[in-house]
């Protein structure tokens, strides 16, 4: 029974399997800081994003496959922590950016409506007052601009952030493992 469990574990494919020659493949080539502080490679993030598009967030497992002779358990623990921390930081940053866009869009829409109400008031109550007519002429385009630009932010700019938000939400919950390039299979027991 134990041999079957080991074989099932070895035969299980991960949702995201990435071959790396060494640990430096995970990080930016231009960052010489220790693994606990280094920036992640843009190539790695792009590949992970591409591979994870059709995966459900609660099911993702990331496996870094690398040569047996280059593995180091201490480095792997530091790198796993760095990856998890960075994914959570990126998720938080994108969530904050989305909230900022929603606040800005809502503010623009609100002030756009205020300017349009002011323009309507000036148009209906100006008589022959040139100053009120001038304020009406200025308020109306400002109102329309703010209103439509706010809607653009609320509808389209927020939508642009959704793929990154979805990616980092999935990936921040993922299990991260390092595995040998050629795992040694246990011999099957015959009965």
Q: Which long-range contacts (CB under 8 A, 24 or more apart) does 169-173 make?
A: 169/57, 169/91, 170/52, 170/55, 170/56, 170/57, 170/60, 171/48, 171/52, 171/60, 171/62, 171/87, 172/84, 172/87, 172/88, 172/90, 172/91, 173/57, 173/58, 173/60
Considering the chain, what percentage of its residues have pLDDT values greater than 70? 86
Q: What is the mean pLDDT of the chain?
A: 84
The Cα–Cα gap between 65 and 181 comes to: 5
Are 62 and 15 in contact, with CB atoms under 8 Å apart? yes
Of 180, 169, 152, 168, the residue nearest 45 (C-alpha): 168
Q: What is the structure's pLDDT at 31? A: 85
pLDDT digits (tens, 9 = 90+) for 1-28: 444 544 444 444 457 888 888 888 899 8
Rg (CA), the chain: 27
Q: pTM for the whole thing? A: 0.76
Distances (CA, A) of 96 to 89, 99, 154, 157, 168: 11, 5, 14, 14, 13
In this structure, what token pair is assigned to residue 20? 């790396």
- Residue 120: per-residue pLDDT: 87
90-145, pLDDT tens digit by residue? 999 999 999 999 999 999 999 999 999 988 887 787 667 788 788 888 889 999 99
């Amino acid at each position: 029974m134990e041999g079957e469990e080991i074989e099932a574990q070895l035969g299980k494919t991960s949702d995201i399997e990435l071959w790396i020659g060494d640990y430096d493949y995970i990080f930016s080539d231009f960052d010489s800081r220790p693994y606990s502080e280094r920036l992640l490679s843009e190539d790695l993030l792009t590949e992970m994003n591409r591979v994870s598009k059709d995966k459900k967030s609660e099911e993702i497992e990331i496996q870094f496959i690398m040569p047996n002779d280059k593995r180091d358990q201490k480095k792997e623990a530091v790198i796993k922590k760095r990856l998890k921390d960075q994914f959570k930081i990126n998720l938080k940053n994108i969530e904050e950016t989305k909230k900022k866009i929603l606040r800005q869009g809502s503010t623009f829409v609100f002030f756009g409506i205020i300017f349009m109400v002011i323009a309507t008031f000036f148009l209906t109550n100006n008589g022959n007052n040139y100053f009120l007519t001038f304020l009406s002429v200025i308020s109306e385009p400002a109102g329309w601009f703010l209103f439509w630009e706010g809607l653009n932010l609320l509808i389209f700019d927020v939508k642009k952030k959704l793929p990154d938000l979805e990616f980092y939400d999935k990936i921040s919950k993922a299990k991260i493992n390092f595995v040998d390039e050629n795992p040694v299979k246990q011999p099957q027991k015959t009965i």
